[in-house]
Chain A
């Protein structure tokens, strides 16, 4: 079962320099909320930004990770 720290680590590995906070919403290891601030989102639409994060986990989202709620933003700028 993944933990908040696992998810945080994997997002940080995939998006170097990103500021990531991950919260386990239920404590059950399957419903998470992630907030990510990263330069990688520059120039991307909101949906592309979210897809970038979902791609880190592939088929695990919808599988072992039932729900991953995402909020993305760019450092110093609007999302």
Chain B
């Protein structure tokens, strides 16, 4: 797979999935605290989202950051727009903006919800590593 193809794949994933999370690891097994925190906010709101692990190939991250002009992982896109990384997503979760943006209900005890919820992940894109041949 060429860099251009990876970039196109990422671009498609962003356009095709209304809520698209690029992270280290998976929502079930996050490989970094920042990614875990971001996925937990989405889980707590009960929204369906697609998640892509950027770790299998370093070029995924290079191309993603080139596309978004955002240097770090995770990155959350909603309706094709970059919303932010862990700090912004957490802040927006805490103040209810994320629930508004996603059309979800803000949990009554937001802190509690973010530590307990399981991932209701849907339509996860095919992992890139399966397409690298």
Contacts and interface: CB of A to CB of B under 8 A. Distances in A.
B65 A69 contact: no
A51 to B, nearest CB: 6
Interface stretch (A6-14, A15-23, A60-68): A60-68
A68 B70 CA distance: 12
B71 A59 contact: yes
Range of interface residues on B (Cβ < 8 Å)? 10 to 19
A61 B71 contact: yes
Contact of A46 (B72, B84, B86): B84
Given A62-B61, A69-B86, A51 B69 contact: yes
Interface residues of A, number: 15
Contacts of B111: none
B87 A54 contact: no
Contact of A54 (B71, B73, B82, B86): B71
Given A47-B88, A51-B70, A59-B71, 5 more contacts: A47-B83, A50-B85, A57-B71, A67-B72, A69-B86
26 contacts: A46-B84, A47-B82, A47-B83, A47-B84, A47-B88, A50-B84, A50-B85, A50-B88, A51-B69, A51-B70, A54-B70, A54-B71, A57-B71, A61-B71, A61-B72, A62-B65, A62-B71, A62-B72, A62-B73, A67-B72, A68-B72, A69-B34, A69-B86, A69-B87, A70-B87, A71-B87
